[in-house]
Amino acid sequence: MSIKKRVTHPYKYWLLKGCFGGSKRSKRSKRDVVKIGNSIGIHNDELHYEISNAFKEVLNNPRLAFNMRKVTDITINGGLMLKAFFQEFQQRHGKKPYIKGPTDKKMKAVLKHLEIKNYSDVNVENYPDIKCWQIYSWDDSYEVEFSKLLDTEIIPACWKGSHTISEQSSSIATSVAETILNCKEHAYTGAKKNSKFRNFYLGVGEYPDDKHRFSFCIYDKGIGIKARLQSNPKEWYDDFIDNTIRTDSQMIEMATKGKRVTTEDGRGEGLKNAIELLGNNNGWMDIYSDKGYYSSYDNSSGKDRDSELEGTMVSFSFSLKYNDSEVKV
């Protein structure tokens, strides 16, 4: 499949092919390096601890080289974290980070496609089997009608053909849009009110597995769910949180239950409604914030992790079964 870069909105837009790493640095000078393993993602606590610490080290010391030689796989949530790292580094230091790029030629093709590194000996079009991801990036100053954008452009572009939840696309768009709006309105408040880096992200794509797992992933580097809940008036907070709620994971779970007082605009029930929608369509949800982890399907969730995520990440996933009469592109 031929992939062409296109820009149709006043925000940055990329198509990611599968997994990606960083760009290769020349051998003109020796630098201390920060190494990572072969996979970038968030679900594995140990791997996420490694990658998040590496990001922090390089962000705080621009002379360090980011060694991605072994990277051969990345999840969609890992892609969002990596894209945020590159953008924050460039904003903070005015240049790209020093990178030891991957040795895998397919990964080099992805880097070239993303314009991170121009490998003259790599032709992106030679790798049509690499899965395509759409990565959207905004900062919180943009005014975008997210529900309409998802329903009329993003979802139709991603779901090629008719499948078991096609008729639910508008409802899914509404739930995902509310989560994005929560990021836009609340992520960079409180302790992050004066943050210079105010981006939030949407990743959309299908995992290349036998379940045809399709995901929407929303990510910000804001104050996190716990701090956001604590910023509400004390009376509201005391009514919402009982005395047994202490951990980050417990705070996330409470947030999924929705507000106890219905708002006039009907908002505030987004995560609760999304979980019900997912449950009715054999879907599932993962939420990470600070050290907390909540999952609608994973029994290991509910316990705080060793690794810590700056901000919040919410993933919606569905298993798609395409109709036999449809030819999937």
pLDDT at 153: 83
pLDDT at 208: 57
CB 16 within 8 Å of CB 134 = yes
Angle between helices 169-186 and 270-280 (to 10 degrees): 150
* CA atoms lying within 13 Å on the CB side of residue 138: 19
User: Could you tell me the end-to-end alpha-carbon distance of the chain, in angstroms, rounded to an integer?
Assistant: 8
Residue type, 306: D
d(CA 22, CA 154) in angstroms, rounded, equals 26
Reading the chain (329 residues) residue by residue, the pLDDT tens digits are 333 444 444 444 444 434 444 445 444 456 789 988 888 889 899 999 999 999 999 999 999 998 989 888 877 788 788 889 989 999 999 998 998 888 888 777 766 766 677 878 988 777 655 555 677 889 888 888 888 888 888 877 776 666 666 667 777 788 888 888 888 888 999 999 999 999 999 988 766 555 667 788 999 999 998 888 777 666 656 665 666 667 899 888 887 876 544 444 444 565 666 777 777 767 788 999 999 999 888 877 888 999 999 999 999 888 766 665 544 44
pLDDT at 212: 66
d(CA 18, CA 206) in angstroms, rounded, equals 10
Residue that the structure tokens 């417990």 belong to: 250
pLDDT at 45: 92
pLDDT per residue over 68-102, tens digit each? 898 888 777 887 888 899 899 999 999 989 988 88
Domains of the chain: residue spans and CATH: 17-125 (3.30.750), 132-319 (3.30.565.10)
Give the Cβ contact number of residue 239 at 10 Å: 12
Give the Cβ contact number of residue 130 at 10 Å: 21
Distance from chain centroid for Cα 102: 22
pLDDT at 298: 80
Residue that the structure tokens 């010391």 belong to: 61
pLDDT at 251: 85
pLDDT at 101: 84
pLDDT at 2: 37
CB-based burial, 299-329: b 16+ in 10 Å, e otherwise: eebeebbebbbbbbbbbbbbbbebeeeeeee
pLDDT at 25: 47
